[in-house]
Amino acid sequence: MNRAFIFKVIGIFLLTVVMSWAVMYINALIKERQYRQEEVKLQIANSSAGAQTIIGPVLAIPYIEEYDEIITENKVKKVEKRKVEYVVYSLPEDLELSGGFTNEYKKLGIYKALMYQLGGKIKGQFNLGTDFKITPQHESAKITMLPAYLSMGISDTRGINGKPELTLNNETYAFDQGTNLSVLGNGIHADLGKFDVVATKIFNFEFQLNLRGMENFNFTPIADDNKIALQSSWQHPHFNGSFLPTHKITPAGFEAKWAVSSLSSSNQTKLLNMLQQRWDENSAASVATAAASAADSARAAYPAAAPAYNNSSLESLAIGFVEPINVYSQSDRATKYGLLFIGLTFAGFFIFEILKHLRIHPAQYTLVGLAMSLFYLLLISLSEHISFALSYLTASLACVALLGYYLTHVLKSKSHGFIFAGLLTALYGALYGILASEDNALLMGALLVFGLLAVTMVITRKVDWYQISSKENT
């Protein structure tokens, strides 16, 4: 077997490895830019608002129980008056969230983050039942009601636009900062004053919530019956979480509806247990301040300064506003086909050498490989300033035009150069189809590789490799 033939094959293989290393270097650059993009998103979230999670509303009704306790001191019985503070937590019997999202990009330099603005309306009903479900812990105890409050957990209150107002049984109340319930984390609350345990059993509530956030919206259903209806002009939502909606996605956007009952979710039981556990943990402090005035006692019942609970065990529904084309992830996927493209091009050169009895110098192989590697660098750099589709078109046309012009001289034939340029155009077109198809990318990639292998085998089916490798001019 001719040594020149063997060296040529080994040389082509080594050049392919070197060119693939160049593509890997560009891939590392893409990863670095992608990491920077995530850093910018974090900076934007820190200066604006991040992903939002809503929990609530929760109605808290504190009260003081006064009773006489007989104690024995130095064998002498005496009566001491005791005051113990308790709280009743109530979750909605039914709850409705309706509204729509608008979306916009917020930029920092060449990087951007997808923001949303929710214009929502939350309404529902609390059914407190007989005596607000207050059961005295001691016989003949006197119950003194303390100011009640309604709390709404909102993970990033910086995203609240305007000053929402609560309407409760036709009375209007202002929201203030803080939930006063550490279980809910960040949020808002409305002071409702003292309730009359005799006069009212049903409380209808309603308020508007205009909330800004980034990329992800989460809502935790805690009512007996939860109905959520949301819509947006965004065409690429990602529904996840513990509950999936019935939805319709059209070129005009999406509409999604959820219906979640307490039979399909354990949120009510979990949240009430967490609230009661938190109250028990703070009961010692409440007892210590029980002798204070009613207003002071009510404030002492609010564990605002206590560390927030981890409420991640609660089940939520979620909407992710997904970018249709992420330039960094798409470019990263494109580089994964770099070795295949360069290898196929070199293989095509080698077949031309064999079939047309040409001699192509390793330096020419190298220049062609570098041109194909630079395609990915052009792609990522352009896509940071213009759309990915236009970047891909520009970069691929530039590389095809350059290679087509160069190969007409290397292959000593304009027709051969144009044929190669046409094949490269088809190859880049097939790659874009793979990148644009999220669901069928693997299938299309596999079919592309199989088709190219089949074409190569058909073209070379009559080649006598032993005869070629033994020729002196190979």
Looking at per-residue confidence, does 82 or 95 come out higher?
95
Tell me: pLDDT of 100 over 60. Answer: yes
Lowest mean pLDDT among 114-118, 172-176, 233-237, 324-328: 324-328
DSSP 139-208: TTPEEEE--EEEEEEES-GGGB-S--EEEETTEEEE-EE--S-GGG-SEEEEEEE---TTT-SEEEEEEE
pLDDT in tens, 390-419: 988 999 899 889 988 888 888 778 887 888
pLDDT in tens, 23-41: 888 888 888 888 887 788 7
Kindly give, in sequence order, each residue whose CB lies less than 8 Å from that of residue 38, ignoring residues fewer than 6 positions away.
none
Q: What is the mean pLDDT of the chain?
A: 81
Tell me: pLDDT of 443 over 70. Answer: yes
Asked if residue 253 lies in contact with residue 116, where contact means CB atoms within 8 angstroms, the answer is: no
| Distance of alpha carbon 257 from alpha carbon 260, whole angstroms | 10
pLDDT band for position 117 (cuts 50, 70, 90) = very high
Tell me: pLDDT of 238 over 70. Answer: yes
Lowest mean pLDDT among 70-74, 251-255, 331-335, 455-459: 70-74
Which has the closest alpha carbon to 181: 51, 316, 59?
59
The reported pLDDT for the residue numbered 6 is: 72
Query: How is residue 306 written in tokens?
Result: 């206590």
Indicate where the chain has its CATH 2.60.40 domain(s): 50-321
pLDDT band for position 286 (cuts 50, 70, 90) = very low
The reported pLDDT for the residue numbered 14 is: 81
pLDDT, mean of residues 108-114: 80
The reported pLDDT for the residue numbered 303 is: 38
Q: What angle, rounded to 10 degrees, do the helices at 327-335 and 388-410 form?
A: 30
The reported pLDDT for the residue numbered 197 is: 64
Tell me: pLDDT of 463 over 70. Answer: no
Identify the H or E element spanning 122.
Answer: strand 111-127
Query: How is residue 225 written in tokens?
Result: 């019956």
The reported pLDDT for the residue numbered 468 is: 59
Q: What is the DSSP letter of 132?
A: G
CA distances from 422 to 2, 350, 417 (A): 33, 18, 9
pLDDT band for position 455 (cuts 50, 70, 90) = confident
| Distance of alpha carbon 363 from alpha carbon 352, whole angstroms | 16
Lowest mean pLDDT among 152-156, 238-242, 432-436: 432-436
| Distance of alpha carbon 428 from alpha carbon 129, whole angstroms | 69
Confirm or reject CATH 1.10.150 for domain 50-321, answering yes or no. no
pLDDT in tens, 347-385: 777 777 777 677 778 788 888 888 888 888 888 888 888
pLDDT band for position 289 (cuts 50, 70, 90) = very low
pLDDT band for position 295 (cuts 50, 70, 90) = very low
Report the relative pairing of strands 148-154 and 253-261 from DSSP bridges.
unpaired
In degrees, to the nearest 5, what angle opens at C-alpha 116 toward C-alphas 113 and 119?
A: 165
* % pLDDT > 90, the chain: 27
Ranges assigned E (strand) in 215-277: 216-220, 225-232, 237-241, 246-250, 253-261
The reported pLDDT for the residue numbered 99 is: 94
Report the relative pairing of strands 142-145 and 111-127 from DSSP bridges.
unpaired
